[in-house]
Amino acid sequence: MMRRRDFLRATLVTAGAVVVPTACSEDEGVAGACDAHENDAYFPQSVASGDPRPDSVVLWTRLVDSQQTADVSLALVIALDEGFTQLVTLTPTSSSAATVGSTSTRLSVIARADFDHCVKVKVSGLSPGTTYYYRFYYTTGNGCVSSRVGRTRTAPTPDADVPVRFAFVSCQDYVGRYYNAYAALAREQLDFVVHLGDYIYETTGDPSIQTPSEERKVTFSDVNGAIAFEPAEGAPYYAARSLSNYRELYKTYRSDRALQRVHELFPMIAIWGDHEFSRECYGATATYFDGRQPETDVERRKAANQAWFEYMPVDYPAGDDFTYDRTADYPQDMTIYRDFTFGKHVHLVMTDLRTYRADHLIPEDGFPGKVIARQGELVAQLGSLPEHAGNYIEDIDNHEQGLYATALEEAAPLLGFDPSLGFAQDESPRTVSASFVNAVVAKLNEQRSVEEQLPLITRMESAGMDFGIAYVDLGKYVDFTLEKPDFYSAFGSRYFVVKETFDAASRFAYDPSTGSDTMVMGEAQLAWFKDTIKESKSTWKVWGNEYCLSQLAIDLTPSFAEDDPLKRRFYLSCDGWDGFREQRNALLSEIATAGNVVAITGDLGAFLAGTPAVDRADAEPAKIVEFVGAAISSATYQSRLQRQIASHPLLKHAMGAESIAVGIDDYLVEKGVAAPANPYLAFSNASSNGFCIAEANADEFVVSMHMLPADALAKPLYEEADAATLDGQITIARYKTVAGESDLYEEEGGTWKKWSPATASEGG
């Protein structure tokens, strides 16, 4: 019996390569006497290649034979031409039993049943900057069949003075939408494609982001192994948990012909986002239930990791003999951050921003009234009190002879919150927000007679209280118009977080001396990342970044009355770098010194361009350039924001709040405003899908944003006859940065115009 470690290693066969021109026909030289023909039934996910280096690339396929449930053997053939007349001699270099035979133009490999019959072959000894063609063959009882032909390309040598052209993409939800963006991308001339995460989505019909159709849906055969959801509105749906669930996601997504075509044409360099495991996860912890129940599930995380390992053509930094071992301790089971060079001008550095990161700074189950920073502490550490700090009762158990403590205890079972108020049993004194106490008392008074009414804390009384930061001051609002208000919420934690108090809370919580600057990447990855960027000799240091670096805040102060808690500036999401303000500042201040650092980013579902900078009052803060690509097919950021506003505890009641999502681009990029909410953001399109193409040379780094309206994904436009229709729906915005600068240029009417925060705020 093969040991587990052996069969896991067997999924990545390594082979040396030598080009051997041959005059024999394809059938004679490759498949013997059999009449080989393409048969998608045996190769339902087609082929793929990935992680190109100057001398190597990883090739992938998956074999399906309904008559074979055990291991099966197949052959790989590589050539310099699409007609397979210039074959490459392949020499097995792996000690694994997955290879059979010696030097030949056919490399025999084994598709292991234990790995869902996936096969990965790392072919080394190739020529740099060279296009290769490949296909897999399989002999059945009825003859020889082959996969479709794949095309791949190795990277140029690090000293090659050549331009580089590549695409970057992310967020390709299969459910309810088609990959028309990929159909357009497949017609481009590219060296490779970078995938920045959310290759799959783990849910089958999450109503917050997905609308399944009969033609585009995901079903699990192992429903007992999945996580079941029964929302109050909409149909029940599932989230993947078992290895079978995650495998079926990849098989379903990879069945799409447009996605297959992209894999057949271009090598892909991929990193995972959150949905390869679970929405807005951190490490092995999901966030579906917002603190209502524990969601750390290491076995689920490992199932997700194994499926990614099986289906993605990745060259792991641990080496050719890397073994994925489900028994290994998490997160040491797999390392996926890695880097690539493409000639003299592009050094691509791919990070993993989900595995090692900490929980969100503001917990979803944080009790809204709990004070997390008192006045004396804030002044001592920050030098002043933040705007929108709130008054608090220092010791609620003894204040007014415990009147309000008793009121909160009475309200707890009625309103559905923890009577401990989020405090530990021995934690004393219990300091509680005065405004929150008033909200609870007002709710109780609705059910009391006039004689039984409890007194509210008056404005005069609160004026004598100290100021601090409670969770409610960060946006942890509660909708007290409901019979059972919800005290567990992503609002004020991940979404719509009050900017000024969150900035202060971030600074208050941050302590570089304890290593808290590693809270996103982890210690080892952070050191590797900073060293790789700063030591790079390439013209452009390109960071494959999973979520937005640019600040995304909106200013609602002009829209609401003075006493309205919505009269604030809000961070739209603290799941990304806005939620790790000080870590982001520390990182930008270091890597900006390397010069010519460009971040390419996914995740958001919007196109953005900007120059994210250190969040300080410096005249010339350290900054880099960032280009954010929208989703291939997933819900746009505008549509997701509409759903968030419709469920926000206060915004859903506010007059005209729905216009925030409709006009989100104007909120994010304010023109002619003296103090815009996002001074370093130049462009936003939150209502389109699409992809980006980057072109880099010694002088400039140019990004073309190919933007498709969201309704253009309702039906497939995959055929050649659809090309004109598809092209007619694409609009292109172009931005660039120039070597030696960290500025942004926008193309207008064929002319490049330099963008700066100063001219933007002046309306220029």
| pLDDT tens for each residue of 301-348 | 999 999 999 999 999 998 887 878 999 999 999 999 999 999 999 999
Peptide bond into 236 cis (omega under 30): no
The H-assigned helical ranges of 92-162 are none
**Tens of pLDDT, residues 246-303:** 999 999 999 999 999 999 999 999 999 999 999 999 999 999 999 999 999 999 999 9
Amino acid 16: pLDDT:
53
Amino acid 37: pLDDT:
85
CATH class of 164-358+519-761: alpha beta
Gap between the Cα atoms of 534 and 593, Å rounded: 8
Q: Evaluate if residue 7 carries a pLDDT over 50.
A: no
**Residue 228 — pLDDT band, cuts 50, 70, 90?**
very high
Q: Evaluate if residue 22 carries a pLDDT over 80.
A: no
Q: Evaluate if residue 194 carries a pLDDT over 50.
A: yes
67-76, 220-229, 351-360, 372-381: segment of lowest average pLDDT? 67-76
Beta pairing class for 540-545 and 597-601: parallel
**Tens of pLDDT, residues 451-497:** 889 999 999 999 899 999 999 999 999 999 998 899 999 999 999 99
From 164, 219, 169, 160, select the one nearest 198 (Cα to Cα): 169
Phi, psi of 404 (to 5 degrees): -80, -30
More confident residue, 23 or 58: 58
Q: Evaluate if residue 748 carries a pLDDT over 90.
A: yes
End-to-end Cα spacing for the chain: 72
- What is the average pLDDT value for the chain, to the nearest integer? 91
Q: Which residues pair with 456 in a beta bridge?
A: none
More confident residue, 451 or 624: 624
Answer yes or no: are the C-beta atoms of 383 and 454 closer than 8 Å: no
Instruction: For residue 166, give the 3-state DSSP assignment.
Output: strand
Mean pLDDT over residues 25-44, rounded? Answer: 63
Mean pLDDT over residues 591-603, rounded? Answer: 97
Q: Which residues pair with 139 in a beta bridge?
A: 144
**Tens of pLDDT, residues 494-532:** 999 999 999 999 999 987 776 677 789 999 999 999 999
Amino acid 24: pLDDT:
30
Amino acid 14: pLDDT:
52
Residues 6+ apart with CB under 8 A from 504: 373, 378, 382, 385, 386, 389, 469
**Tens of pLDDT, residues 654-696:** 999 999 999 999 999 998 888 899 999 999 999 999 999 999 9
More confident residue, 105 or 97: 105
Amino acid 221: pLDDT:
97
From 224, 478, 227, select the one nearest 368 (Cα to Cα): 478
**Tens of pLDDT, residues 160-191:** 999 999 999 999 999 999 999 999 999 999 99
Peptide bond into 331 cis (omega under 30): yes
Q: Evaluate if residue 2 carries a pLDDT over 90.
A: no
What DSSP line would sit under 326-358, residue for residue? TTSPTTTT----EEEEETTTEEEEE--SSSSPP
For residue 411, what are its two tokens?
Answer: 């309200």
The sign of the dihedral angle between the CA atoms of 96, 100, 103, 107 is negative
Phi, psi of 304 (to 5 degrees): -60, -45
The H or E element containing residue 265 is helix 257-265
Amino acid (one-letter) located at 140: T
Q: Evaluate if residue 15 carries a pLDDT over 90.
A: no
Amino acid 19: pLDDT:
40
Amino acid 232: pLDDT:
83
**Residue 102 — pLDDT band, cuts 50, 70, 90?**
low
More confident residue, 518 or 395: 395
Phi, psi of 743 (to 5 degrees): -105, 170
**Tens of pLDDT, residues 430-443:** 999 999 999 999 99
What is the share, in percent, of the chain residues with pLDDT greater than 70? 93
Gap between the Cα atoms of 20 and 85, Å rounded: 9
Gap between the Cα atoms of 623 and 596, Å rounded: 10
**Residue 735 — pLDDT band, cuts 50, 70, 90?**
very high
Beta pairing class for 118-124 and 12-21: parallel
CATH superfamily of 4-153: Purple acid phosphatase-like, N-terminal (2.60.40.380)
Gap between the Cα atoms of 115 and 7, Å rounded: 8
From 295, 465, 294, 307, select the one nearest 395 (Cα to Cα): 465
**Residue 94 — pLDDT band, cuts 50, 70, 90?**
low
**Residue 68 — pLDDT band, cuts 50, 70, 90?**
confident
Amino acid 141: pLDDT:
81
**Domains of the chain: which residue ranges?**
4-153, 164-358+519-761, 371-497
Amino acid 471: pLDDT:
97
Q: Evaluate if residue 21 carries a pLDDT over 50.
A: no
Amino acid 495: pLDDT:
98
Amino acid 323: pLDDT:
74
Q: Evaluate if residue 69 carries a pLDDT over 60.
A: yes
Gap between the Cα atoms of 459 and 445, Å rounded: 18
Answer yes or no: are the C-beta atoms of 360 and 470 closer than 8 Å: no
Gap between the Cα atoms of 379 and 394, Å rounded: 16
For residue 145, what are its two tokens?
Answer: 């069949």
Q: Evaluate if residue 571 carries a pLDDT over 90.
A: yes
From 19, 160, 183, select the one nearest 88 (Cα to Cα): 19
Amino acid 674: pLDDT:
85
Gap between the Cα atoms of 378 and 384, Å rounded: 7
Q: Which residues pair with 522 in a beta bridge?
A: none
Instruction: For residue 447, give the 3-state DSSP assignment.
Output: coil
Mean pLDDT over residues 57-62, rounded? Answer: 97
Amino acid 99: pLDDT:
39
Q: Evaluate if residue 25 carries a pLDDT over 80.
A: no
Put residue 574 in one of left, alpha, beta given phi > 0 → left and psi -120 to 50 → alpha: alpha
Answer yes or no: are the C-beta atoms of 190 and 182 closer than 8 Å: no
Mean pLDDT over residues 567-591, rounded? Answer: 96
